[in-house]
Structures are given as structure tokens and as C-alpha cells.
Amino acid sequence: MASGHFFWAIFYFACLCSASLANNAKVNFREKEKKILDQILGAGKYDARIRPSGINGTDGPAVVRVNIYVRSISKIDDVTMEYSVQLTFREQWLDERLKFDDIGGRLKYLTLTEANRVWMPDLFFSNEKEGHFHNIIMPNVYIRIFPYGSVLYSIRISLTLACPMNLKLYPLDRQVCSLRMASYGWTTADLVFLWKEGDPVQVVKNLHLPRFTLEKFLTDYCNSKTNTGEYSCLKVDLLFKREFSYYLIQIYIPCCMLVIVSWVSFWLDQGAVPARVSLGVTTLLTMATQTSGINASLPPVSYTKAIDVWTGVCLTFVFGALLEFALVNYASRSADRAADMHRENMKKKRREMEQASLDAASDLLDTDSNATFAMKPLVRHPGDPLALEKLRQCEVHMQAPKRPNCCRSWMSKLPTSPFKNVPCLGRGQCSRSKRIDVISRITFPLVFALFNLVYWSTYLFREEEED
């Protein structure tokens, strides 16, 4: 009986001791974490100014592996030639001075928020224009120290980076924007950056850009040599393709419509001067405004862009339609002057013919003093002026016909005017002015269609060559 009570007392005491030890172990676990941090980062034990040793504790350069996660790309500016990106930047290296006991695997890593407690690589973004950290609600940065001495540094940053662009094929172009990371003070003898194996660059899945599409990205190395030594460098090339549908709707189709509207002038009557002038001037000014608006959104580069060729040719077609009306108006006024001269000549000839008829009548009918009639001879002498005139007229009618001209015969088949009731006093000159309109109705669309064929074939072929 006594032995039974003794057994239960021992069992009860063992349970209390185990509960006490469990509680002490839980408390001591956090205290152990603090002790580890004080032990490895205490004063006089760790110097953040000294870089870690090389691989396997050698005196070689410290190796830092880098990977990034692209969270968003907010804009790609053609005028300032820059782009803005937000990314999570990570670095990982081995510092054997930071090894610690993981207490049987229960302590996976230690977390720090103060970067100045440990040694940090002096990496900087060489093509950076502006940049800032994110501090809402707390600074978006952490440092993890693993039991075997590996250090992981992660931070979220926003950068505005330079992106030199070649706009010769704009807006049918592709642009390559780089993200360059290099060491500022440590040479390759002390520090080497490497891309993390596997997947060094990650991009968010639902990445949307307003006027570009991210086609692909490439990682590479870009070590630079200066007077002070060679420095390790990493780069990411982001290949962006410009979305053409926006420019097709906003630029190309409106320009085509303006050119076609300028051709309406060819179908208006040549006498409708106010309508044709206002149409030509309006389309010309609208096209000039469209061109200036396009150039305002682009940098003033020294070379010719694809959009400059398009707007320049469209502006030339609109201006040519206005010049065509000036030519038609000049031909019409020449026809009016010819018609006036023709009327004057006809009136003069009519008066001469009337006078000649009166003279002939006076020669045929001649009365003497006895009121008797005398017959004039029917055959005139060779020196008679009236006979010479008749002879010249006969020679004119008996001249051989001229050889037909192919161009003139084709031109004569063209309709002179769509308005059948419009009078034409000077027929030769008036039909010429109307034929100018008819030829323009055919020539302008054909030349513009040929230009489109050459333009799109040339620039699309050049785009494929660059790919």
C-alpha cells in the first residue's frame, strides 16, 4: 500500500517536472534566439566593415547571387527615354562568421530589419535616374540569417531607369530597356555578382502596359573596366513591342481620311471656287495640326522616323490637291480669255463677211443712167481679190489631214465634265481644265495606293529583319 502511494507521488512529481521543463524550453527558445544574435553580432565579435571570405573559406572574392521579381512597369516614356519599374530585389551570399546552432532544426533562420548590422554588398543601379524605398506601413526590407551562415537580403524598391531608344521605325518599333546592377567600390578581386541559378528573373503574370507588350527578357553580364579596376556587373534586357493598334486608330486612319477628303475637290465643279478653296485649306490645316501633335509627343531626334514619312507624304497629297485646283482655275480662266477672243474674232469676221457681201452685191448690180441693167462677167480675172480669197479657202479645205496623236485621241475620249448642263464657251481650253480634274481623280488614288504598298512593305520587312 505504501509502495503504491509512493509510485503515484513519483508519477505526479514527474508530470510537474515535465510541464515545468516544457514551459522553460518554450521560454528559453526565444531567449536562445536573442543569445544567438548577441553572440554572432555582439561588439568585438563581428565587424560589418570586413567582407566575407571566398568560397570554402578561401581568400577569393565573395560571391553574391542575385534574383529579382518584377512587380509592375508603370510607364515607358518616349520623350525622356526612360521607364519606371517596381521590383523586389534579392541578394544572397555566404558569411561563415554568422553560423549558429539551430537547436535541432527548430530555429530555421534569424530575421533582421537593420541592414547595417551585417556586411552588405555595395550594389547600385548604373542606369538609375530616380529611386526610392517603400516604408508603408513598415520598411519593406528584411535580412534572414540561416544556420550555415547564408544571408538573404530582400527589399522592395521603385526605380526610374534610362532607356536609350531608336525611333527610326516608330511606331512599328521594338525597344530594349536594360536594368544594370554593378558594384560601386569592390573590384572583381573582392566581390563577384552572379545570377541565381534556375529562375533569376521573375515577372508578375498579369503585367499590363498602356502602349507596349513585354515580349521577353534576357539576363547577361556586363563587367566594366575603369582606371581603378574591373567591377562586376549584371544586366537584364527587357524587350518591349509597341502596340500598333493605338497608332492605327489615332494617326494612320485619320490621315488616310484627310487625304481622301481632299480628293472630293476633284468632283466639284470648277466654278465652285469657295467650296474647293475652303475644302483644300481646311484639310491642309488639319493635316498640319495632326503632324505637329504627333511630333509634340516625341523627342526631336536628328533622323527620320517612319511616322515622319507617313505624315509628310499625306501632307504632300493634301497640298497637291490644293495645287491641282489652282491649276484647274488657271486653265479655266485661260479658257474664258480664249472664249472672249474667239467671240471678238467671230464678230470681226461676221462684219467682214457682211461688208464683202455688200461689195459683191454692188459689183453685180450696177445701173446706168438709162435704168438698164448690165451683166457682170461670170469669169473673173486672175488678179481679182475675190477670186483669190475663194481660192485660198479651197486650198485650206483640200489640205491633207494631220496624223492622229495617240495621247490626244485618248484624252478626247475622257468625259469633260460630270455636269452636262454647264456651258463651255472656249471648248478647247475648257475641256482641258475639266480633263485635269478627271485625270486627278484617277492619278491621286493610284499613286497613294502605290505609296501604301511600298511603305508597309518596307517598314514591316525592316521590322522582321531586326527581329
User: What is this structure's pTM?
Assistant: 0.70
Residue 111: CB atoms within 10 Å? 12
Residue 387: CB atoms within 10 Å? 13
In a structure prediction context, what are the per-residue pLDDT tens digits for the chain, which is 467 residues long?
Answer: 445 555 555 555 555 555 554 444 444 566 777 888 888 887 778 888 889 988 877 788 999 999 999 999 988 999 999 999 999 999 999 999 899 888 888 888 888 888 888 999 999 999 999 999 998 888 999 999 999 999 999 999 999 999 999 999 999 999 999 999 999 999 999 999 999 998 899 999 888 888 899 999 999 999 999 899 999 999 999 999 999 998 999 999 999 999 999 999 888 887 788 888 888 899 999 999 988 888 888 888 889 999 999 999 999 999 999 998 888 878 777 655 655 566 666 777 777 777 777 766 666 555 444 444 444 444 444 455 545 455 455 444 445 455 555 555 545 554 544 434 444 444 444 567 788 888 989 999 999 999 999 999 998 887 666 65
Residues 6+ apart with CB under 8 A from 283: 258, 259, 261, 262, 318, 321
In whole angstroms, what separates CA 84 from the centre of its chain? Answer: 19
CA–CA separation, 33 vs 36, rounded Å?
Answer: 5
* Residue 154, CA distances (Å) to 67, 120, 140, 144, 286 in order: 10, 12, 8, 9, 54
Concatenate the DSSP letters of all residues of 428-457 into one string.
HHHHHHHHHHHHHHHHHHHHHHHHHHHHHH
Closest by CA position to 159, among listed 242, 241, 238, 64: 238
Query: Residue 441 is which amino acid?
Result: R
CA–CA separation, 50 vs 186, rounded Å?
Answer: 12
Q: Show contacts of 243-251: CB within 8 Å, 24+ apart.
A: 243/211, 243/212, 243/213, 244/171, 244/172, 246/211, 247/171, 247/307, 251/171, 251/290, 251/294, 251/307, 251/310, 251/311
**Residues 205 and 145 sit within 8 Å (Cβ to Cβ):** no
Residues 6+ apart with CB under 8 A from 83: 73, 75, 76, 77, 160, 161, 163, 177
Q: Given the C-alpha cell 469657295, which residue does it identify?
A: 274
Q: What is the dihedral of CA 441, 442, 445, 446, to 10 degrees?
A: -170
Q: Given the C-alpha cell 538609375, which residue does it identify?
A: 128
CA–CA separation, 33 vs 42, rounded Å?
Answer: 13
Task: Map 202-222 to HEC letters.
Answer: EECCCCCCCCEEEEEEEEEEC
**Residues 182 and 224 sit within 8 Å (Cβ to Cβ):** yes
CA–CA separation, 355 vs 211, rounded Å?
Answer: 85
Closest by CA position to 98, among listed 78, 112, 82: 112
Closest by CA position to 251, among listed 305, 298, 293, 283: 293
